[in-house]
């Protein structure tokens, strides 16, 4: 469209006004595209940071729930529960 304005037979002041309008419109579209890309990049960075933080917490606390749940994993190997588990009585 800008090339068409260069070869236009319209009065010069109209061609200049139309050229200014089109350049402003193009600049606005470029600016919006950059803002959108910046927001998308920031969202990806935030998601990556959250995932990394979660990973660090899991590494630091050993997975969280298993280490601090207070429950033993598997049957007891000593104490009164050991004998009842294997069919013996104390």
| pLDDT value for 55 | 87
| pLDDT value for 37 | 96
Token pair 């200049």: residue: 16
Name the residue among 74, 55, 27, 13 with its Cα closest to residue 82: 74
Q: Quick check: pTM over 0.75? A: no
Enumerate the H helices of 1-90 as residue ranges. Answer: 2-6, 12-61, 65-68, 80-85
Give burial (CB, 10 Å; 0-12/13-18/19+) of 13: exposed
Express each pLDDT in 27-65 by its tens digit: 999 999 999 999 999 999 999 999 998 888 887 765 544
**Out of 7-11, 48-52, 68-72, least confident range:** 68-72
pLDDT above 90: percentage of residues in the chain: 49
Domain-wise residue ranges, the chain: 2-64
């Amino acid at each position: 469209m800008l090339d068409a304005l260069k070869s236009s037979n319209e009065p010069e002041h109209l061609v200049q006004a139309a050229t200014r309008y089109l350049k402003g419109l193009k600049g606005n579209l470029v600016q919006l595209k950059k803002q959108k890309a910046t927001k998308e990049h920031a969202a990806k960075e935030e998601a990556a940071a959250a995932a990394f933080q979660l990973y660090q917490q899991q590494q630091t606390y050993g997975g969280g729930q298993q280490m601090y749940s207070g429950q033993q994993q598997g049957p007891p190997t000593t104490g009164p529960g050991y004998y009842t588990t294997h069919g013996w009585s104390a």
